[in-house]
Amino acid sequence: MRTDSTMQQLRVGFTKMWKVIPQELKKMNIQRPGTFDPRNAHNGVMWGWPAECNMTDRKAKRILFKCYETKRVTPNELKNIRKTLAYAYELKGGSCKKNWPSVKGLFKEAFDLKTLPQGRASYSTKPTKIPAPEQLKRAFTKPWRPGGRMPLSKWAVGYVIAYDWSVFGCRSKEDIARVKFSVNHAINVRERWQASEFNGGRCKLCGDKKGTRPWWIWRVCLCPGQSHISPPADFGRHLDRNGNPTIQVRWNTACPIACFEFYNSCLGRGDVRNYPRWKAKGGYAKDNVGNPIELALWWFEEQGEVPYHGGRFSSNAGRYALARWCEKLNISYAESFEVHGDLYSTWADHYEDYVPKDPHQKREQSKNPDTATKALSRFAHWLGRGKQVKPKLSRRDRYMHHICAKVLGESMAHKIAHGIPSDDED
The DSSP string of 158-190 is: HHHHHHHHHTS---TTHHHHHHHT---EEEETT
pLDDT at res. 421: 64
d(CA 195, CA 185): 6
User: Which amino acid, 420?
Assistant: I
Nearest alpha carbon to residue 352 among 385, 368, 328: 328
3-state DSSP helix/strand/coil % of the chain, to nearest 5? 45, 5, 50
pLDDT at res. 240: 95
- For residue 125, the 8-state DSSP code is -
Give φ, ψ of 345 to 5 degrees: -60, -40
The distance of Cα 230 from the centroid of its chain, to the nearest Å, equals: 28
Flag residues of the chain having pLDDT under 70.
1-4, 119-124, 206-211, 360, 387-395, 397-402, 404-406, 408-426
d(CA 182, CA 176): 10
The distance of Cα 81 from the centroid of its chain, to the nearest Å, equals: 29
Q: Yes or no: say if 45 and 32 are a contact pair by the CB < 8 Å rule.
A: no
d(CA 286, CA 407): 59
Where exactly are the structural domains of the chain? 4-115, 130-389, 391-426
d(CA 219, CA 215): 13
Secondary structure of residue 403 in the 3-state scheme: helix
Cross-sheet strand order for the sheet of 193-197: 185-188, 193-197, 216-220
d(CA 70, CA 64): 10
Distances 69 to 117, 221, 232, 354 between C-alpha atoms, Å: 12, 62, 72, 44
List the helix and strand counts (H, then E) for the chain: 17, 5
Secondary structure of residue 193 in the 3-state scheme: strand
Residue 84: exposed, middle, or buried by beta-carbon count in 10 A (0-12, 13-18, 19+)?
Answer: buried
Q: What's the whole-model pTM score?
A: 0.70
